[in-house]
Amino acid sequence: MALRLGDQVPDFTQDSTEGTINFYDWAGDNWVVLFSHPADYTPVCTTELGQVAKLQNQFADRNVKTIGLSVDSVEDHNGWMGDIEETQGHAVNFPMLADSDRRVADLYDMIHPNANDTQTVRSVFVIDPNKKLRLTLTYPASAGRNFAEILRVIDSLQLTDKFSVSTPANWNDGDDVIISPKLTDPEILAEKFPKGYTELKPYLRVTPQPNK
Ligand code: BEZ
């Protein structure tokens, strides 16, 4: 059965460009972005891997480790990495799983046979330090992903884990947030949101981002 939000993600051991990886050990106490691409030496994938390399500091700032995957070999990954650096201006600075036997692809349901029965789709799994699945995205082979959006959602997840808030459409770090409708006690509201809030509807109350 497909993984669902809140599920504990499966552990695995697989080859990678940085040697054999045991996923849980490698992840440690970090957040993880595990993402698959259809195949090495393909154009859209080349741009995606370059983008993730470029954004590596931003992932690290959020305590996030990134790990790529396709059903290609370590040798193919290593050969292709030179092309990524040459064309994208950023060397791949995170491991790429070499899932030739599809062990991980099958565990995480990354092959969608009616789209392509041999290649992984563009899956994204955001996994928290408790190894719980917090976000999934599935993109077709023809559309490269927006990794700024993945960082944005991680900002939202990390913020809403700490405060009784949620984030509105198109929110970015620093924008106003929404107070949980479950909070109604005026004393608790005053304590949790000392900057005050605006009530547009009883269920829609906005407040400045609490940690800014
Ligand atoms: C690409 O990365 O450009 C790509 C990969 C597989 C199918 C189509 C495009």
pLDDT band per the 50, 70, 90 thresholds, residue 50: very high
Say whether pLDDT at 35 is over 90.
yes
String of DSSP letters for 66-105: EEEEESS-HHHHHHHHHHHHHHHS----S-EEE-TT-HHH
Rounded to an integer, the average pLDDT of 68-73 is 98
Residue 163's pLDDT is 96
Residue of minimum CA distance from atom 7 in ligand 1: 141
The pLDDT of residue 2 is 87
| Confidence category of residue 95, pLDDT binned at 50, 70, 90 | very high
Determine the distance separating the centroid of ligand 1 and the alpha carbon of 119, expressed in angstroms. Answer: 10
- Calculate the alpha carbon distances from 148 to 13, 131, 152 in Å: 29, 22, 6
pLDDT tier for residue 74 given thresholds of 50, 70 and 90: very high
pTM higher than the cut 0.95:
yes
Choosing from 36, 41, 45, 119 the residue with most ligand 1 atoms within 8 A of its CB, the one to mutate for a pocket test is 45
Question: Which residues are catalytically annotated?
Answer: 45
- Ligand 1 centroid to Cα of residue 12, in Å, is 26
CA of 37 to the centre of ligand 1 (A): 8
Computed over every residue of the chain, the mean pLDDT equals 97
Q: Compute the average pLDDT of residues 190-204.
A: 96
DSSP 11: P
For the chain, which residues make up each domain, given as ranges? 13-145, 163-207
Kindly list the protein residues whose Cβ atom lies closer than 6 A to any atom of ligand 1: 38-39, 42-45, 141-142
Judged against a pLDDT cut of 80, whether residue 153 lies above it is answered with yes
- Residue pair 153/43 in contact (Cβ under 8 Å)? The answer is no
Fold category of 13-145 in CATH: Glutaredoxin (3.40.30)
Q: Which atom of ligand 1 is nearest to the CA of 45?
A: 2
Sign of CA dihedral 143, 60, 99, 125: negative
pLDDT of 1 higher than 90: no
pLDDT bucket at 81, cuts 50 / 70 / 90 = very high
pLDDT at 150: 98
Does the pLDDT of residue 73 top 80, yes or no?
yes
pLDDT of residue 101: 98
Pocket-testing residue among 42, 46, 71, ligand 1, by greatest number of atoms within 8 A of Cβ: 42
